[in-house]
Amino acid sequence: MSIRRKTKELQDRMNIALSGGGEKAIEKQVAMGKLPARERVEAILDNGTFHEYDLFVEHQAKEFDMDKKILNADGVITGTGTIYGHSVCIYAQDFTVAGGSLGLAHARKITKIMDHAMKLGIPIIGINDSGGARIQEGVNSLAGYGEIFFRNTLASGVIPQISVILGPCAGGAVYSPALTDFVFVVDKISKMFITGPEVIKTVLGEEISMDDLGGARVHTEITGNAHFYAETELECFEQIKKLVTFVPWNNKKKADKFPTRKPRSKFKIDGIIPTDSKQPYDVRDVINSIVDDSDFLEIQEGWAPNMVIGLARLNGDTVGFVANQPLVMAGVLDVDSSDKAARFIRYCDAFNIPIITLVDLPGYLPGIDQEHAGVIRHGAKVLYSYSEATVTKITVILRKAYGGGYIAMNSRHLGADFVLAWPSAEIAVMGPEGAANIIFRKEIAEAENPEEMRKLKVKEYKKRFANPYAAAAYGYIDAVIDPTETRSYLMHALDVSKNKQELRPWKKHGIPPF
Ligand code: HXC
């Protein structure tokens, strides 16, 4: 065969393989508001950089007439490309081909590109749009999932792993995203659940829509499984591209340095904290008034909003923020906010991102619901993550730092490198009212006017402890600073700790309170 004929054969074969599930299936996909798989990949990557692998992979299944079925690219597109000039590995399941279901060949394409990402030390982005394990391929499909989960776990903390849920992600398939660093969902398109509506109807006799069961809002607000929510696929792709500008390409690298930019002038740090210590405020205003260009990428914004986490830059370098949010439940630590903070601390530590902790909380949330939900176990994760982390850890106590909350939020005692406090800081075992009621119980009860006496004792207690100076006297905080000095102090602390090294005792791994 001449070269020209061979080239023609290649073109013909490619045209077939690239046609996915055919025109009708693609039309159905588009009618559902979903982009075809290759268009998704191309929209995320820099123009014209996608290089596809394994286009001609074929399944070897025979059962249920599978030997008569041709599944183009076996329902998953894999390859490499760049984002802002940096290489990434990517795969996208193609729902138009057998519902994007995962058989052995499909799984092997995914594990091959994951192995590639690990060897090259570059991120892996996975677009999920699939009916789950390919039923006709039986245990081979299950094996495929197992192989993917194994690699997700090995890659965890080594290369960034990003999951994008752009269709159904059903059954065991959900566990791959759950093992990755960041999960992106899109309104009306993402559907993520272990057991679908059909199974629920059969087993429990209940009717429930896929959206109510595992739609985008469910996972950004109720379960915390997703980290970013978008209204459209294109908005989601912009979010992914923004996120990757903040993250290092692997655990041995630092994120790209950007030019330093001052916070925008509309964000003024002075006067954010109300004079009445019971009044709430938005801690994101504090973050925006500190960071470069007031550009804060909040993560898991809709879930456990009493804790704010996210990425930003100081002096052009990426930093992670963990901050109590006084606007929601006074910023208390509870089961979900503890999980949220703890996982992010470990993420930052794994990828060499310094952590800045902003403290204003009355402590752990009291009550039988929280106790029974395991606030002891979940709260311990925060202590564990901070203590374990060896990246630069800086704390700024803005206002309340009471009891367990003081210790948990990256106190000096858990290994903070720098602890700063604003003059408004109140560092104490508990709030003034509760404390006065306990330690002055006798005086209050025996007073002629107990209410007057109580107020007096609260005032006395506040004067003694509701300030940063008792802690400063013991050296538990390094400096009491004017809020306007916060940005320059933080930049200095990051600068002097550029080469920080801290060793931990050798171990195979710890046993965190999962
Ligand atoms: C084989 C599948 C499939 C699957 C869908 N298809 N899911 N083929 N295995 N798991 C096929 C359909 O037969 C159909 O083929 C095409 O994909 C499109 O599917 P539809 O049902 O027509 O699409 P839609 O109405 O949009 O519904 C999508 C869906 C539904 C909600 C995802 O297909 C569904 O419920 N699928 C099964 C989901 C599920 O329970 N998966 C869990 C499997 S068990 P044709 O040829 O008609 O176009 C599992 C365990 C793994 O994953 C455990 C690992 C630890």
Q: For position 464, what pLDDT does the model report?
A: 83
Residue 134 Cα to ligand 1 middle (Å): 7
Residue 369 sits at φ, ψ, to 5 deg, of -60, -45
Q: What residue owns the CA closest to ligand 1's atom 29?
A: 131
Interval 457-468 mean pLDDT = 87
Residue 420 Cα to ligand 1 middle (Å): 54
- Which residues make Cβ contacts (< 8 Å) with residue 146, sequence separation at least 6? none
Interval 132-155: pLDDT, tens: 999 999 999 999 999 999 999 999
Q: Which atom of ligand 1 is nearest to the CA of 145?
A: 54
Residue 13 Cα to ligand 1 middle (Å): 27
Cα separations in angstroms, 217 against 191, 223, 228: 10, 9, 10
CB 213 less than 6 A from any atom of ligand 1:
no
CB 134 less than 6 A from any atom of ligand 1:
yes
Least-confidence region, from 4-8, 176-180, 411-415, 483-487: 4-8
The rounded mean pLDDT for the chain is 95
Tally of CB atoms within 10 A around 12: 10
Residue 195 Cα to ligand 1 middle (Å): 12
Least-confidence region, from 107-111, 175-179, 296-300, 455-459: 455-459
Report the relative pairing of strands 161-170 and 124-130 from DSSP bridges. Answer: parallel
Q: Residue 432 — pLDDT band, cuts 50, 70, 90?
A: confident
Mutate to test the pocket of ligand 1, among 30, 66, 93, 101 (most ligand atoms within 8 A of CB): 101
pTM more than 0.85: yes
Rounded-to-integer distance, Cα 340 and Cα 331, Å: 13
Tokens read off for 348: 């930052």
Report the relative pairing of strands 161-170 and 191-193 from DSSP bridges. Answer: parallel
Q: For position 331, what pLDDT does the model report?
A: 97
Q: What residue owns the CA closest to ligand 1's atom 17?
A: 99
CB 307 less than 6 A from any atom of ligand 1:
no
Pseudo-torsion of CA 89, 109, 251, 173, nearest 10°? Answer: 110
Is the predicted pLDDT of residue 1 greater than 80, yes or no? no
Matching fold, domains 3-246 and 269-429+467-496: yes
Sequence letter at residue 30 = V
Sequence letter at residue 159 = I
Rounded-to-integer distance, Cα 412 and Cα 476, Å: 6
Q: For position 158, what pLDDT does the model report?
A: 98
Where would I find the beta strands (DSSP E) of 271-392? 297-299, 307-314, 317-324, 355-361
Rounded-to-integer distance, Cα 354 and Cα 180, Å: 21
Q: For position 372, what pLDDT does the model report?
A: 97
- Which residues make Cβ contacts (< 8 Å) with residue 321, sequence separation at least 6? 287, 291, 296, 308, 309, 310, 311, 312, 355, 356, 357, 358
Q: Do 250 and 119 touch, CB atoms closer than 8 A? A: no
Taking each helix axis as running N to C, give the angle between helix 375-388 and helix 335-350, from 0 to 180 degrees, rounded to the nearest 10.
20
Q: What is the helix (H) or strand (E) element at residue 486, kind and residue range?
A: helix 486-496
Q: Do 357 and 396 touch, CB atoms closer than 8 A? A: yes
Closest CA to 186 of 161, 208, 215: 215
Inter-residue long-range contacts of 238-241, CB under 8 Å, 24+ positions, other chains counted: 239/184, 240/44, 240/83, 240/125, 240/162, 240/164, 240/184, 241/44, 241/83, 241/84
Q: Do 128 and 177 touch, CB atoms closer than 8 A? A: yes
Tally of CB atoms within 10 A around 427: 24
Residue 154 Cα to ligand 1 middle (Å): 28
Extents of the domains making up the chain: 3-246, 269-429+467-496, 432-465
Residue 111 Cα to ligand 1 middle (Å): 21
Tally of CB atoms within 10 A around 24: 9
Let me know if domain 3-246 sits in CATH 3.90.226.10. Answer: yes
Is the predicted pLDDT of residue 300 greater than 90, yes or no? yes
Sequence letter at residue 493 = A
Interval 214-263: pLDDT, tens: 999 999 999 999 999 999 999 999 999 999 999 999 999 999 999 999 99
Mutate to test the pocket of ligand 1, among 135, 153, 192, 208 (most ligand atoms within 8 A of CB): 135
Sequence letter at residue 304 = A
Q: For position 495, what pLDDT does the model report?
A: 97
Q: Do 152 and 172 touch, CB atoms closer than 8 A? A: no
Is the predicted pLDDT of residue 373 greater than 80, yes or no? yes
Interval 428-457 mean pLDDT = 90
Q: What residue owns the CA closest to ligand 1's atom 9?
A: 134
Closest CA to 166 of 27, 24, 45, 35: 35
Report the relative pairing of strands 307-314 and 317-324 from DSSP bridges. Answer: antiparallel
Rounded-to-integer distance, Cα 472 and Cα 478, Å: 7
Q: What residue owns the CA closest to ligand 1's atom 6?
A: 99
Is the predicted pLDDT of residue 386 greater than 80, yes or no? yes
The residue with tokens 């268009």 is 39
CB 172 less than 6 A from any atom of ligand 1:
yes
Q: For position 64, what pLDDT does the model report?
A: 92
Residue 182 Cα to ligand 1 middle (Å): 25
The residue with tokens 């599944």 is 71
Residue 98 Cα to ligand 1 middle (Å): 8
Interval 444-459 mean pLDDT = 91
Let me know if domain 269-429+467-496 sits in CATH 3.90.226.10. Answer: yes
Rounded-to-integer distance, Cα 201 and Cα 206, Å: 5
Residue 40 sits at φ, ψ, to 5 deg, of -65, -50
Rounded-to-integer distance, Cα 185 and Cα 193, Å: 13
Rounded-to-integer distance, Cα 4 and Cα 108, Å: 32
Q: Which atom of ligand 1 is nearest to the CA of 175?
A: 55
35 or 436, greater pLDDT? 35
